[in-house]
Every structure is written in C-alpha cells, then in structure tokens.
Structure 1
Amino acid sequence: MKEYKTLTREKVDVDLTVVKYFTSETHLMQDWSDKMIDLVLNGVTLNGFKKDEVREMLRETYEALKRYEMIGPMASPFLNDPPAIVARAFRELYPCTEYIAQLVPDLRDESGAAVYGETLFPSDGSTPVVSISAEAPISAAPELLAHELAHVVAGEDAGHGPEWKAAEEAIFKRYNEILEAMIPSDTAEAVITPHKAGDGGIVAMITRANVPEPHGDDWKLTTCPDCGAECWETDLTRQALAAEPALRAACTLCALKGGAHRE
C-alpha cells in the first residue's frame, strides 16, 4: 500500500486526441503571462476566460503532475537524478507493482555481512522493502536500485534467474530511453545486440557495488574509466580486450549509456 497520496489517478490519462473537439484555439500554459495564471488561480471570477483555454491548462498541469507523482512521495532537487529516473522507468513499466525504497546506513544481510542492496518480502505479503546502502557510491545508486527493483518484479523465489534478468534489462532499457530524451546526445541510441568481432564497443564489467565479493580467483578489482566506480575485471574481459583492440571496458551502467554491445 502506498505511503503517500497522489492527486492523479492510475487509470486516467490526458487524451491528446480530444483537442480537435475544442471550439477555440488554446495555448500552452508556459506561454501564459504571470497575470493570467494569477487571475485563473486567485481571481474572484473566471468570466471572460475561454472554457477550452482553462481546460487545456488543467490538462497540461495534470499530465505534468502525473509524471512527477510516478517518482514517489518526494521529488529530487536534481534535474538528472539517476535513481529518480530509474524509479520513473520502473513505474512506467510496472504501474501496479508497489514497493518502498529507503537508504540505510551500514546495511547488512541476515548473516551480518555488509551489502549494498537488499530487498525484503514481508511474511504477511505486504509491500516489499528495497534497501540501498548509504555507503554505496552515488554513481552506483541507479544500478543498485534497478537490480533490487527487478527482484520486486520477479518475486522472492526467483533469485537471479531469467525472470529477474528480463526485468532488470527492461528497467535499464527504459531508463536509457528516458535519459536520452532528457539529455539528447550526438551518439546513437543505446541498444544491446550480440557482439561480433570487429564491432568495437564496450565490455560491461560487473560493478562491485552490485557484487561486493569476487566469484573467482580471476576476478581483479579495477575502476570504471568513465565514472570511477569499482568494478570486477575477469579473465573473459581481459581476453576480449586483448583479442580486439577496438574494445574498451566500463561498468555496466556506463556501458549501457554508451550503447554497449555485449554477449
């Protein structure tokens, strides 16, 4: 159950096609003068204002508010807050799936080991709780949140199986689409396709914030050359880099942003 109230409704959206039925020309609210907006909000009467103009103002406000409320109970002060964009991507993909997210200092699992992310499913079936370590690097926050939200989608017993992996990749894909729309770049849209020799591109390294301990003797700690996040470089990564000089390595998130090709 949500811990906050929203003014917009899940099943009600602004229908762009109804504008053709308006009987008079309307303007975007951003083109209104301060005096006109003040009169609509605080004037003693709306006499003289066209009904369609006021309706368009309400529609524009509702649409913007619904996008805002997708994030959650609080909005970020940052224009490009990556975790907020992850939260928006998740809400657009899974509008009926609820969760509670929190930052936790010194986050530890049931055995007492330090972890960077954890999702708890209450035994009473209530809303899952996503916890992200407050000690994790800020650059790792979007990847950590996407990782845990994929657990929310897949369910408690799914582990890191195919359903979890599909959810994580869907969240990352939508995240990059939103980010690209917010901050257009000259590069091609980021896509994930099977890698072929000669393609070049970026080898995605496992982020330490996501997997704190190495899973093999060949895992060596390094840093992402783009964002500085700690990553695990494996023998497979080193072999790929040695075999194909056009390749470079980066953390998973930076690889996705850069339009990485990965197997």
Structure 2
Amino acid sequence: MRSLLLALPLLLGTLAPTQAAISVGIGISVPGVNIGINMPAYPHLVPVPGYPVYYAPTANANYFFYDGLYWVYRDDIWYQSTWYNGPWQSADPIAVPLFVLRVPVRYYRQPPIYFRGWASTRPPRWGEHWGRDWEARRPGWDRWDRRERPVMAPLPTYQRTYSGDRYPRELEQQHSIRSEKYRYQPHDPVTQQAFERRGQPAAPSSAGTAKPAPQASPRAQVPMTGPPGEAGSQREQRKAARVENRSAEQQTRADEKALAKDKRQEAKDLERGKDNPQ
C-alpha cells in the first residue's frame, strides 16, 4: 500500500504535462486562435452588392473582407486577420465594423440556426441577439446614407502567391510582407483600432513627416500613397484592383441570376405540387 501511495504522485506528474499539451493543441494556435477554418489557397472574393464588403461565395464559412481586414463569424464569435488564413484574433461585438455587421443574411454561407426566419435581404438582428446594452452602445448601426458608402478597399491579391509551405505564419513576417506590398490605408476608425490592438500600424510608415491629407467625405476617400518613387507600383496595384473588382462584379451578377433562376424553379415545383396532390 505504501509503495502504491509513493508511486501515485509520480504517475500524476507524468499525466499532467500530457493533458496540458492536448488542451493547448486543440484550442490555441499562438499567437492567434485556431477557429477550425483552413484556407489552403487565396479565396475567391466577391463584392456584396451595395456594400464596401467582399464575401467568399464558395467558402464553407461566413467569410468577409473589409477595409484591409478579413472577418469570419463562427460559433457566435467574430474573428479578424490581416491574412486570408490567419492567425485569427477574436473581436468583441463592439469592435466589429458597422459595414461588416450590415451585410445581409443571404451572404452568410454558414448561417447559425438563430438566423432562421430573418429576412435574407436585411442584416442579422444583432440588437435582438446581443441585447439592449450592445445596441445602446451602437445606436443606429443598421441605418446609414447609402449615397455615402465608402470606397472599397483593394483586395490584397499579393497574398495569392503565398500558400502551402510558403504561407507566413509569424505575425512579424506577415506584417513585413504586407508593409512592402499593400499600401492601402484603412479609413474606418474601428479597423484602425483593430490594427492598433494587433500592434501594427494601419498603414505603412513613410520616411519623414508628412502633413495629414485633408479629410473628405467617405465617398471621396481613396487609398493614400506611400513614399516617393512608388507611384508607378501604386498605379499598377490600383489598376489590378479595378480589374479584380470588375471580375468580382461580373461573378456577383452571375450568382444573382443563378439565385433568381433557382427561386423561379422552386416556385414552379411548389405550384406543380399543388396541381398534383398525392
């Protein structure tokens, strides 16, 4: 009996590290969170019509891009990242940009069960879901002047060349590549704060001290340029972004036509069922 008591602490000591390793391996992917989503390659992103937000129609996730950040809604939690496959950081509902929250229900590819019964052309009922305290802190979140929709951020298509073993996992490496290849400056204060919380500037730094550009209405805002000598690369990037946007808009129209066709077919099937009851 005494031998058993002496051996028990040793046995428990060998089990504890194993249990700790399992819990960390399952839930956490330092320095971000493992949310169970893996994008092996750069996703196909399409503009949400009428919104400065992109969504991924072929992804098996509620996946969006807005103002320089990727956003995923999963298990009632919002996550954000500067790169398409993470690492992801969770965001408080108060810290999610309004235009992301305004995206209609129909663009959530994996809508949670409580979305059922909500109008597909309207945003989710976040005030109803998160409660009065949240809605009191974000009054009028679902109302805005659609004529003042901000310009869409160009997609960071440079990330297409980084997949598989080439995908950068360290935040410092991601930030270094982004600073070199993506010159867009976020205009949304919530997005800017998200970059600050990540310990990254919202836009690449430039040599010297420049005077701040005059602030125009959201419609007139455009990505700011970087240091002198980069105007050519900036023009090429904006040109590529315009081509990408046109292609995405064409895909959106095709998706909408396909959806309308499916609805017409569904209506015909329902009518046929009424005419031919079992």
Task: Return the TM-score normalized by structure 2.
Answer: 0.26
Greater share of helix: 2
Larger RCO (CA within 8 A; separation ≥ 6): 2
Q: TM-score, normalised by structure 1?
A: 0.27
